[in-house]
Amino acid sequence: MLIGEVSAATGVDSQTIRFYERQRLLPEPHRAANGYRTYDTAAIDRLRFIRAAQTAGLTLADIAQVLNLRDAGQAPCSHVSLVLEQKLAEVRARQQELADLAVELEQLIEISHTMDPEDCGPQDICRIISST
């Protein structure tokens, strides 16, 4: 298959496919006599895995580790499980940060409803923000 066909089959742009090759996420494709890249179905499977892993929150570095384990003949399942647990912990921490931010914003909004703009002097940039 040519790169356009792989792109159509996977939804991955041809420039992204070339980028993944440079990052060694995809093996170097075979070249036809005319110099065109030719891919087999393994490239499609690999690209689909990369997309699914990205959707699950894995970085390209995470994905490279998984692919390297698989390419070395090892089942990466326990490694993937650990990475997913770390990602989940990061998501939960970020959710808590966002919840804390929401409380702070609600407080600032409440303050803004009680402040009189006439009370702001020229030295104040914004008393709503600096009131906390």
Q: How far apart are CA 115 and CA 128, in angstroms?
A: 8
Task: Report pLDDT for 120.
Answer: 79
Listed in sequence order, the residues at least 6 apart from 9 whose beta carbon sits closer than 8 Å to its beta carbon are: 1, 44
Asked if 49 contacts 25 with a C-beta cutoff of 8 angstroms, the reply is no
Indicate the average pLDDT of the chain: 94
For residue 72, the one-letter residue type is: A
Confidence check: pLDDT of 132 > 70: no
Q: How far apart are CA 121 and CA 64, in angstroms?
A: 56
Task: Report pLDDT for 79.
Answer: 97
Each residue of 11-61: pLDDT tens digit?
999 999 999 999 999 999 999 999 999 999 999 999 999 999 999 999 999
